[in-house]
Structure 1
Amino acid sequence: MSSFAALSHCPRSRAYYDKKRVEGKTHRQAIAALSRQRLNVLWACIRAKTPYQTKQPSSAELALCELA
């Protein structure tokens, strides 16, 4: 459910999902990849004992979003 919410609210997540779709992944495969990526970020935050800091999406990520 987190990945579905991230698709509509987080440009970086949308860009990652779109990148996976362009690579030829199915919707389910792309969502699974996004979920794994989000889990890896969460684990890194827990391991480093630091809060999650959002970053502005790069111009490449924004361009990828505009193509979709």
Structure 2
Amino acid sequence: MLSPHEFATLMLVKDAPDQLGLDRADLDMLLEHQLVALEALPCGQQRHQITRDGVSMLKAVTRFG
């Protein structure tokens, strides 16, 4: 089960993947649960991207919210 902070981070990654200042611990948990993945950019940097499982998780939560 994800914490409220982890859910909020997941929503931010979905809506603003380039957002600075995301909590590293929350991102690590989302990566561990494969709800977020790192995307390699052409410039050589990486950014977080929500996975299909992450999208499914958000859909499930919003159905009950």
Tell me the TM-score normalized by structure 1.
0.32
Tell me the TM-score normalized by structure 2.
0.32
The structure having more radius of gyration, on CA atoms, is 1
